[in-house]
Amino acid sequence: MPWPASEPAQCLGADAEWLVVVGGGGLIDEAKAFRESRPGLKLVAIPSIWGSGAEASPIIVLSRAGRKKIKINPSARPDAVVYWPDLSKSVPAERQRAACGDCWAHALEGFLSPLASPGLRDALAQVIRRLLALPLSYDPQWFELSALACAGQSLAGVGLVHGIAHTLEVPLREQQPERDWHHARLCSTFLDPVMRLNQAGSDKWNQLLTEHRLPETGIWMILRALFEPDSFRAALPVLRQEWRGVLRDPCSRTNSVLVRPDWLERFENPPLP
Amino acid sequence: MENREKLKKVVEDVFLLQPGEFRFDLRRDEVETWDSFGIVSLAVGIHEAFGCHFTPAEAVGINSVADIIRLLSTKGFEFDN
């Protein structure tokens, strides 16, 4: 559903007390932002797909003037969340798989973040263990785990996967309208290559996985299953074009490993496991 | 690579400096990207290059390249002029 369906100020009466949003992360974030201009308005979120965890996060990501704008407002979380997993059964399988990648990106980047406390890392390690047991398709547990992963990353920050997704989404939509580019798909596509660069760039990946007894092989299998080679190849020219913006993105700058300017060349030939 | 060169490379990469922009007397207020995210990134880069951690208080208290050198010197790294 496009947002706004009509001008929100016109379609919502001045005396409205509740706003109910049913949709994905982008729509829920728009509703969170709209509610900021209407103190007292109660917000109910009903996510129609898992992955973003926007219903559980104080972070608001908006597309404005061709760029992604990120705000953090502790009071932005909806007043109530209704989980209705059946809504997502009609979502195409490809979109479901990408939603899994979005959730995995939150969990892994939050877990690896230099800003994650030991307690938060323990909690996200538990989320990752549970994620490993889920299929990359519909399962009602995705909603709970996406909310937990998103709440975790909102405390620790994310990394280069999100720096790329936030920077490339708008130009990719403009330059490749025939491809259905969206945030979750970008996260899915770049999660494996970025994690390989993280692993090659520092011993932190191996150390943290060992310390938290996370099965490295199982994680790589999931990341490889999420990887979309055609999408990756299609995105590379835009990544080259937008690389400076990726480096300056706040998410890239809290990556677990320092993202150096020459990393762009490594995307051409990502290290093998 | 000697420590001065290692530090120069880290600072250039962390703050996305253009060639020729780096100076050993560079101050935080001269670098647009030396913000709160830059502080996190600097701590990560220093750890990767020198293998030592900055505490949050140490990282936030750094206001110049000279401060980084002073801090690393207290941790046993030598920076000969």
Domains of chain A by residue range: 8-85, 92-268
Q: Identify the pLDDT of residue A65.
A: 78
Q: Which residues in chain A are contacts of B16 at CB distance < 8 A?
A: 244, 247-248, 261
Q: Pick the residue from chain A with its C-alpha nearest to B42.
A: A258
pLDDT at residue A6 tops 90: no
Any B CB within 8 A of A115 CB: yes
The arrangement of strands across the sheet holding A80-81 comes to: A18-23, A42-47, A80-81
3-state class (DSSP) for residue B4: helix
Model pLDDT for residues A237-263, shown as the tens digit of each residue: 999 999 999 999 999 999 999 999 989
Question: Which of A12-21, A25-34, A76-85, A210-219 is least confident?
Answer: A12-21
ipTM associated with this complex: 0.86
**Mean pLDDT over each residue of chain A, to the nearest integer:** 92
Domain ranges of chain B: 3-74
Q: What percent of chain A has pLDDT over 70?
A: 95
The model carries a pTM of 0.91
The residue-averaged pLDDT of B58-78 equals 93
- Say what the pLDDT of residue A271 is: 61
Considering the segment(s) B3-74 as one domain, its CATH architecture is: Orthogonal Bundle (1.10)
Residues of A with CB below 8 A from B37's CB? 250, 253-254
DSSP state of A136: S
Per-residue confidence (pLDDT) for residue A70, from 0 to 100: 86
CATH number of A8-85: 3.40.50.1970
Q: Which of B:33-52 have CB within 8 Å of A? A: 33, 37-38, 40-41, 43-45, 48
Indicate the average pLDDT of chain B. 92
pLDDT, one tens digit per residue, over A210-219 is: 999 999 999 9
Q: Other C-beta atoms within 10 Å of B60: how many?
A: 12
pLDDT digits (tens, 9 = 90+) for A46-95: 999 999 999 999 999 988 877 788 888 989 999 999 999 999 999 999 99
Gap from B22 CA to chain A (nearest CA, Å): 15
Residues 6 or more apart whose Cβ sits within 8 Å of residue A187: A98, A101, A102, A104, A105, A161, A162, A165
* A to B CB pairs, distance under 8 Å: 34
Choose, out of A256, A258, A262, A264, the residue to mutate when testing the contact with B (most B CBs < 10 Å). A258
Determine the distance from the C-alpha atom of residue B16 to the mean position of all C-alpha atoms in its chain, rounded to a whole number: 12
- pLDDT mean over A99-111: 98
At A270, is the pLDDT very low, low, confident or very high (cuts 50, 70, 90)?
low
CATH number for domain A92-268, candidates 3.30.70.1140, 1.20.1090.10, 3.90.245.10, 3.20.20.140 = 1.20.1090.10
**What distance lies between CA B52 and its chain's CA centroid?**
12
Q: Is the pLDDT of residue B18 over 80?
A: yes
Burial A90-109 (b: 16+ CB within 10 A, else e): ebeeebbbbbbbbbbbbbbb
pLDDT of residue A269: 75
